[in-house]
Structure 1
Amino acid sequence: MSSVPRFDLTDIRVFTSVAEEESFTRGAERAFLSLSAASLRVKNLEEVLGAQLFYRGTRGLSLTPAGEAFLECARNVLHGVERLQDIMQPFSQGVSGHVRLFANATAISEILPGVLARFFRTHAGITVDLQERLSAEIVRAVHERIADIGVISGHVVAEGVETLPYRKDRLVLAVAEDHPLADVPFMYFADALEHDFIGLDTHSATVAFLQHEVAQMRCSLRQRVQVCSFDAMCRMVEAGVGVGVLPEMVAKRLAKATRFKTVQLMDDWAMRELRICVRRQSEMPVFARELVDFILQSG
């Protein structure tokens, strides 16, 4: 009778973290281990399995066919452990758990602070790993069980996950108070392209969205300055450097501290829908489903 390979849940978690981060350094940080300890655990795991799990080269880290197969199984094992903990929680004195929540920039800055504050008042034992990602990345993360809950743009294709309608928000044009467009109540985005724009960094979902729409128009965006946040964008707008595009709910908050005016964009795509996405509601721990309910109630 052949012996069964022996490894523990920590080995599986470390391997999964390294594989999903595509880096031993970031995987070790995510698993709260030193780089040497994480590397040793993966090396021992490969020896126990008798198979190489990673290709290690100058171009980085990638999974071997054996590693891809093991990753799929490892995710199922970790998901099963989470389900087991969820089932056993009612029999324990306290409820505890961890939720991985990925969301776009608008949700993180404008919606989730209040939602999480209310949620933690009645769920003191729950922790949340909140990360900002692009909507397409969030869908993939939820589908692959890297994230438990996602808040995404409704324009994104969300195959392989369940989505729930959440709320709508409109993109607006921010202009200085003395700008030629300051007294224009509404306009089409194409008519604003003759002006200089304040853009966000290339990792912003709003930037990717606008670039797609501009490409569809066969036009170009005259970006004078690139900044890292909507707050910095509005300060540049206030100073008269250029105009910017941002969600209306963000503009309303920032207008309290920065002087600028907004112009409604009449384009159909300017009305954006936010949606909640999960892999399967029926498989989620009770506390994760309750967090989804909290988010939906904030709509």
Structure 2
Amino acid sequence: MTVKQLRAFVAVAKTRSFTEACDQLHLSQPALSVAIKNLEDALGGQLLARTTRTLALTPEGEAFYPTAQRLLADLDEAYEEMHNRFSLFRGKIAIASMPSFASNQLPAALKIFRERFPAINVMVHDVIAEDVVDMVRTGRVEVGVTFDPDDAGDLNFHPLFDDRFIAVIPTNHPLSAQSVVRWPDLLEDDFIILQRPSSVRLLVENKLESQGMTLNPQYETHQLATIGRMVATGLGVSVVPSLCLRQMEELGALCRPLEAPIVNRRVGILTRRRYPLSTGARELVDVLAHAF
């Protein structure tokens, strides 16, 4: 049973005329007759009762008519839905992003995407870097933005930029007079850092270890915004990705370049290697890549 056969039967059943059905479908009468005959053969019996003067549906034809109409309606709806998706007239995309990017750089990129594709809905999951990798890997989101996962062979990583970590200090701190802050000076104060297993925490600890320094935090938290507020209140000092510079300043803290050693890490787009992206997700990746 083919779509052509179904359309032929529905046209004839609706018009009760082979001539009118041929005009509707732009088919010759022999082609229409063959389509109906092949459908009847496929179903196993007559659907139309034909005489020289009349054309009527058999009882089986009457029973099949609404089913054929429904099948064609569902097919037309499916065609329209897929056309809309491929044309980006409709759809939904899920993206996971580490909070430092989601709350600072991502909104500007999403605004560009929205202006181009206003009918595409975007769901943003702002989660820690490790969860971004997991959500992309398991297919819960198509696109992720995070630090380079290094050894993730099943994922594609498209670099966007290198992010250098900065010092975050209270406005009245002695180091505020310095244009650049050094790690040994920063570690003399009470230190605030993200809790494990944060990749930011692990990166900082590993970098300091390689330089013979040890991190002994007085405060640990899950959120970068909490770090900014705690520093602004005068509870201590911290380091964050430079992605968060504006956020830290809005919370009332000062930010300074950090060196001895410099800590940086590549930020990029994460997708699954063996799974093609939807049309909308490809466009979102393109917007992100051009925005940075």
Please indicate the TM-score interval, normalised by the length of the shorter structure. Answer: 0.5 to 0.7
CA contact (8 A) 1:175 1:244 kept: yes
Q: Report the counterpart of residue 258 of structure 2 in structure 1.
A: 264
Q: Report the counterpart of residue 88 of structure 1 in structure 2.
A: 82
2:281 alignment partner, one of 269, 288, 292:
288
Structure 1 residue 196 displacement after superposition: 0.9
CA distance in 1, matches of 2:114, 2:247: 24
Q: Report the counterpart of residue 224 of structure 2 in structure 1.
A: 230
Q: Report the counterpart of residue 193 of structure 2 in structure 1.
A: 199
2:270 alignment partner, one of 277, 283, 292:
277
Structure 1 residue 132 displacement after superposition: 2.8
Structure 1 residue 203 displacement after superposition: 5.5
CA contact (8 A) 2:211 2:261 kept: no
Does residue 168 (structure 1) correspond to residue 162 (structure 2)? The answer is yes
Closer, same or farther: CA 88–170 of 1 in aligned 2, 3 Å: same
Give the gaps of 5 or more residues in structure 2: 1-77
Structure 1 residue 293 displacement after superposition: 0.9
The alignment-based identity, stated in percent, is: 22
1:159 alignment partner, one of 153, 156, 166:
153
Structure 1 residue 160 displacement after superposition: 1.2
Q: Report the counterpart of residue 132 of structure 1 in structure 2.
A: 126
Closer, same or farther: CA 123–237 of 1 in aligned 2, 3 Å: same
CA distance in 2, matches of 1:233, 1:127: 32
CA distance in 2, matches of 1:86, 1:212: 53
What pairs up with 1:25-64 in 2 under 5 angstroms?
none
Residue type of the alignment partner of 1:183: A
Q: TM-score, normalised by structure 1?
A: 0.61
Residue 220 of structure 2: SS of its match in structure 1? strand
CA contact (8 A) 2:167 2:181 kept: no
CA contact (8 A) 2:148 2:157 kept: no
CA distance in 2, matches of 1:184, 1:239: 20
Residue type of the alignment partner of 1:243: V
Does residue 210 (structure 1) correspond to residue 210 (structure 2)? The answer is no
Structure 1 residue 243 displacement after superposition: 0.4
Residue type of the alignment partner of 1:286: T
Does residue 240 (structure 1) correspond to residue 234 (structure 2)? The answer is yes
Residue type of the alignment partner of 1:284: L
Does residue 105 (structure 1) correspond to residue 79 (structure 2)? The answer is no
CA distance in 2, matches of 1:106, 1:287: 24
1:91-139 per-position Cα deviation (integer Å, ceiling 9, x unaligned):
9887322222111121111111222222123323322232233434433
Structure 1 residue 281 displacement after superposition: 8.6
Residue 147 of structure 1: SS of its match in structure 2? coil
Answer with 106-115 or 125-134: which moved more: 125-134
CA contact (8 A) 1:136 1:156 kept: no
CA distance in 2, matches of 1:186, 1:125: 46
CA contact (8 A) 1:101 1:150 kept: yes
CA contact (8 A) 1:155 1:273 kept: no
Residue type of the alignment partner of 2:264: M
Give the gaps of 5 or more residues in structure 1: 1-83
Structure 1 residue 191 displacement after superposition: 4.6
Structure 1 residue 214 displacement after superposition: 4.1
CA distance in 1, matches of 2:163, 2:255: 17
CA contact (8 A) 1:187 1:264 kept: yes
CA distance in 1, matches of 2:280, 2:122: 11
What is the number of equivalent residue pairs in this alignment? 215
CA distance in 1, matches of 2:214, 2:80: 51
Residue 288 of structure 1: SS of its match in structure 2? helix
CA distance in 2, matches of 1:132, 1:177: 29
Structure 1 residue 163 displacement after superposition: 1.6
CA distance in 2, matches of 1:107, 1:271: 15
1:258-286 per-position Cα deviation (integer Å, ceiling 9, x unaligned):
14242423424x12211111124981111
CA distance in 2, matches of 1:132, 1:121: 22
CA distance in 2, matches of 1:107, 1:251: 11
